[in-house]
A and B are shown apart, each in its own frame.
Chain A
Amino acid sequence: MSQPRRIHDIAHARAGDKGNTSNVSVWAYDPKDYPLLKQQLTADRIKKAFPKLFTGAVTRYEMDDLHGLNFVLLDALEGGVNTSLNLDSHGKSFSYLILGLPIEA
């Protein structure tokens, strides 16, 4: 019954921006999937998955009681909404970029 899965299958996420810093919170739908999420979705993994996009430090904060992780991505927005020429200058789509990563059950 095991099938290839993405983080999108077990979690939901939202991205926000402040200046040149993005944050993406990722929440397990089912509390029983949270340990897997916490084990596999590390700050290091996100930085390595998108090295050209997330060039600055990546910090992870854990919200164990609510089964969520918060990633703070420094220097991730091409200077921020002021100067970015990206169509998504706020980095709103980063949430789904991260949800697209594979997860192993």
Chain B
Amino acid sequence: MRSDTIRLGCGAGFSSDRLGPAVDLAQRGALDYLVFECLGERTMAFGHRDRMLDPARGYNPQLRARMRGVLAHCHANGTKIITNMGVANPRAAALLTVDIARELGLSGLRVACVEGDDVTHLIGPDTEFMDHPGAVKDVGLRMVGANVYLGVEALLPALQAGADVVIAGRIADPALFLSPLVHRFGWALDDWTALGRGTLAGHLMECGMQVTGGYFADPGFKDVPRLADCGFPIAEVQPDGSFVITKLDDTGGCVTPATVKEQLLYEVHDPAAYLTPDVTANFRGVSVAEVGRDRVRVSGADGSARPDKLKVTIGFDGGFLGEGGVSYAGPNARARAELAADVVRERLTRINQLGGDLRVDLIGLNSLHQTAEVPMSDSADVRLHVALRSTDRDDIDTMLWEVESLLCCGPAGGGGYRGQVTPCVVTHSALIARDQVSPSFEVFVA
């Protein structure tokens, strides 16, 4: 027998988030819904690339491990799962989940895939970007796919059809949490206040541990207990949309007004106008109150009409990022590292005449804020770090060869060469009309 309160848990706040704390929530969270938010703009583009290489792939690489970890617990506890782990292939993700359910003996489990976010067919060379001048044809890179941010309306039909697991691709992050609230509380899709409050619950939950002590600790100033055992968050939501953020008692981390406030404005610009496909949420009048140990009550969010248009993220194949480095330590380390930087710049530009974007940093001096006017430290432990972005893999390999050659050909005492190459994607955003999008769902039974 469940009360009027809906208990939401977050089992992942990004694609590579931890699994163990999600299993804890599935097992002991007494949750109504466990949500896995695993999709960033770039993650989506990588999903498209994976699917191009293998049509059966394109979903979150940790899908199998996550479902194997939580599915039986969720089934036993009556917890439904909502996730965007479908990435560029929700159908394949749903079919894999059905297979896993059968392996686990969970016969009859209903797994829905939600589709319609892939709008690659609506994007052409002349599609203009929303946040800066230019169009698709100006990018000069191969488009890999385009996805529209869907909202509550895309997920509701699958929940209403009684799905135990709902797997989607591009859904606005807060909508993953807002949808079950709309479904269970029966909120109208133009009850902007309720949608604004539910969106705030989703916004605070969607980054997982960032509200329970992750991305927060600053020893001596903001101490977090047992950070290594940090728990994922739980939201206990009331029918009026107010809620308490908490976590399992025996996990590490903390939920305090400070952790909640930092997350309140994370990736928010105007606090009075947080745009989602479902509502323009207003966080300006929000109150946070500590109501118990690791329990913070959040109320006072509001909302107004949803935006007319929907945001689309267009992904492009961005080639490669190459990074190579060599370390210098002890007396005069800084001067030797600076000489190495000069040598590598000269070798790459004058002798190899490499194009592309090149950057040379000295880690230990001022690598992160090189362009800010901050006095450089005088470390005796300095690492040359060379980064090059290019669509030409040969350029990347040339750069790495040059950096490695510093071991014998550069300043005295350089050691510890490492080099790596990372595939890159580039994303841009555009707007499309709502009536160009028609989400759909299908349920598969294990």
Contacts and interface: CB of A to CB of B under 8 A. Distances in A.
Interface string A19-61: 1110101010100000000000000000001111100000101
Given A23-B265, A85-B389, A87-B361, 11 more contacts: A12-B222, A14-B265, A14-B266, A18-B267, A50-B372, A51-B373, A68-B261, A82-B42, A82-B318, A85-B387, A97-B369
A14 B374 contact: no
Contact of A14 (B215, B359, B368): B215
A101 to B, nearest CB: 10
Interface stretch (B19-27, B192-200, B283-291, B400-408): B283-291
A23 B368 contact: no
Which of A13, A66, A86: most chain B CB closer than 10 A? A66
Interface string B414-429: 0000000000111101
B271 A70 contact: yes
Interface string B319-343: 0010000000000000000000000
Interface residues of B, number: 50
A102 B385 CA distance: 30
**A contact patch SS:** mixed
Interface string B228-268: 00000000000000000000000000000010011111111
B269 interface: yes
Interface of A: 8, 12-14, 16-21, 23, 25, 27, 29, 49-53, 59, 61, 63, 65-66, 68, 70, 72, 78, 81-83, 85-88, 93, 97, 100
Interface string B388-408: 110000000000000000000
Nearest to B316: A82
B357 A83 contact: yes
B131 interface: yes
Would you list the 9 A-B pairs with minimal beta carbon distance, nearest first? A85-B359, A16-B267, A25-B265, A14-B262, A53-B372, A85-B387, A50-B372, A52-B371, A82-B426
A68 B372 contact: no
Contacts of B369: 50, 53, 93, 97
Contacts of A21: 269
Contact of A25 (B132, B266, B285, B358): B266
Interface of B: 42, 131-132, 215-216, 218, 221-222, 258, 261-272, 284-288, 318, 321, 357-359, 361, 363, 367-374, 385, 387-389, 424-427, 429
A16 B388 CA distance: 24
11 contacts: A8-B221, A16-B268, A19-B429, A20-B132, A25-B261, A49-B373, A61-B270, A85-B359, A86-B359, A86-B370, A93-B368
Nearest to B363: A87
Contacts of B427: 82
A100 B218 CA distance: 13
Contacts of B425: 82
A12 B367 CA distance: 23
A99 B288 CA distance: 23
A12 B426 contact: no
Given A23-B265, A27-B261, A66-B286, A61 B131 contact: no
Contacts of B218: 12
Contacts of A78: 371
B374 A17 contact: no
A59 B268 CA distance: 12
Contact of A87 (B263, B271, B368): B368
A97 to B, nearest CB: 6
Contact of B267 (A17, A51, A63): A17
A29 B261 CA distance: 11
B361 A14 contact: no
Contact of B268 (A23, A87, A97): A23
A85 B368 CA distance: 10
Contacts of B285: 65
A72 B363 CA distance: 27
Nearest to A67: B261
B131 A19 contact: yes
A104 B21 CA distance: 43
Contacts of B367: 87
A14 B357 CA distance: 29
Contacts of A23: 265, 267-269
A29 B265 CA distance: 16
Nearest to A11: B221
Contacts of B262: 12-14, 25, 27
B387 A53 contact: no
